[in-house]
């Protein structure tokens, strides 16, 4: 169980990105973070992996605080990260990019040695699961955006994670491709009982895939519940920091286009 206790993040320039927040993340649940730009979604996600340090409060995984170096290493080895800009190495093959996901398991010395056959097999299995086996030896920069993001998912999978953190994983994809990639991520997480925390700008995807939606506004949690409880009023509270007339018209197509909230 991953927990956030009294977590507060103030960046060195004085920006209050996250107000005191308490949250628990259950094993296997698919959680979506919603919020306007600057609401604190990335800050929360990065805190869950120790990439952002708490100003006060703590993040615990299992029994211990991830501020502890050994606990952080153990936590990160079980946590797959997926980014908006997938962060693949373009000149490397799909297979090599996915194998990079295994590096967290090895000591520095071990990473200088070739990967074992068993690891290559696991990497190929992950590539097969995301439907890219015929591209395994192709350079990553020769794939489409959606295919590259699927490589990003495969790279997270070879870690055999119990948790996946994904920061706007489909933001740079067209709506149909975004739906397919997110659907794939969702079905794999469900099949393998992997907990996921995923930030999104699309309300319709949040409603379709989330077990739980956490809405952030101005660094505070303003909604926390299942999609069935996310009504018009709740949507307005999440996007309150947007232009007031836009919020009033939040069901209008114009608002939906500007915010990516296809309600």
Ligand X SMILES: Nc1ncnc2c1ncn2[C@@H]1O[C@H](COP(=O)(O)OP(=O)(O)OP(=O)(O)O)[C@@H](O)[C@H]1O
Q: Would you count residue 15 as binding ligand X (CB under 6 A)?
A: yes
Nearest CB to ligand X, comparing residues 14 and 114: 14
Residue number with CB closer to ligand X (37 or 85): 37
For Mg ion, which is the closer residue by CB, 41 or 102?
41
CB 84 within 8 A of CB 169: yes
DSSP string, 28-82: T-EEEEE--TTSSHHHHHHHTTTSS--SEEEEEETTEETTSHHHHHHHHHTEEEE
Sign of the alpha-carbon dihedral angle for 131, 155, 202, 233: positive
Angle 64-220-48 (CA atoms, 0-180°, nearest 5)?
A: 30
Q: Which of 2, 7, 17, 81 binds ligand X (CB under 6 A)?
A: 17
| Residue 43 contacts residue 18 (beta carbons within 8 Å) | yes
Stretch that binds Mg ion, among 35-43, 47-55, 75-83, 240-248 (CB under 5 A): 35-43
261 binds, among ligand X, Mg ion, none (CB under 5 to 8 A by kind): none
Q: Which runs of E-coded beta strand occur in 83-211?
A: 163-167, 195-199
Residue 81 binds: one of Mg ion, ligand X, none (C-beta under 5 to 8 A by kind) = none
Of the pair 127, 166, the CB lying nearest Mg ion is at 166
Q: Distance between CA 138 and CA 95 in Å, rounded?
A: 8
> Can residue 87 be called a binding residue for ligand X (CB under 6 A)?
no
Between residues 35 and 152, which has the closer beta carbon with respect to ligand X? 35
Residue 13 is a binding residue for ligand X (CB under 6 A): yes
105 binds ligand X (CB under 6 A): no
48/103 Cα distance (integer angstroms) = 20
Considering the rule CB under 6 A, would residue 77 count as an interface residue with ligand X? Answer: no
Binding of Mg ion at residue 42 (CB under 5 A)?
yes
Residue 259 sits in the site that holds Mg ion (CB under 5 A): no
- Could you tell me which of 40, 63, 49, 135 has the C-alpha nearest to residue 92? 135
Q: How many residues does the chain have?
A: 263
Given ligand X, Mg ion, none, residue 13, with its beta carbon under 5 to 8 Å by kind, binds: ligand X
Binding site for ligand X (CB under 6 A): 11, 13, 15, 17, 35, 37-43
Binding site for Mg ion (CB under 5 A): 41-42
């Amino acid at each position: 169980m991953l927990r956030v206790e009294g977590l507060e993040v103030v960046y060195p320039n004085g920006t209050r990105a996250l107000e005191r927040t308490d949250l628990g993340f259950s094993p296997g649940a698919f959680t979506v973070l919603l919020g306007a730009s600057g609401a604190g979604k990335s800050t929360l996600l990065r805190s869950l992996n120790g990439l952002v340090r708490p100003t006060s409060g703590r993040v615990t995984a299992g029994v211990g605080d991830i501020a502890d170096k050994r606990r952080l290493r153990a936590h990160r080895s079980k946590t797959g990260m997926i980014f908006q800009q997938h962060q693949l190495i373009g000149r490397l093959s799909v297979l090599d990019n996915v194998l990079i996901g295994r590096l967290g398991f090895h000591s520095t010395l071990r990473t200088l040695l070739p990967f074992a056959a068993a690891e290559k097999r696991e990497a190929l299995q992950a590539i097969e699961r995301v439907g890219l086996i015929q591209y395994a030896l192709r350079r990553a920069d020769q794939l489409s955006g959606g295919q590259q993001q699927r490589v990003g998912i495969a790279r997270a999978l070879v870690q055999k994670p119990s948790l996946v953190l994904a920061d706007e994983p489909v933001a740079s994809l067209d709506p149909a491709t975004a739906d397919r990639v997110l659907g794939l991520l969702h079905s794999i997480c469900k099949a393998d009982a992997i907990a996921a925390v995923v930030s999104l700008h699309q309300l319709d995807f949040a409603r379709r895939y989330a077990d739980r939606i956490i809405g952030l506004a101005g660094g505070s949690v303003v909604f926390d519940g299942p999609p069935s409880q996310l009504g018009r009023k709740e949507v307005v509270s999440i996007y309150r920091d947007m232009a007031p007339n836009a919020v009033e018209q939040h069901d209008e197509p114009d608002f939906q286009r500007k915010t990516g909230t296809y309600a």
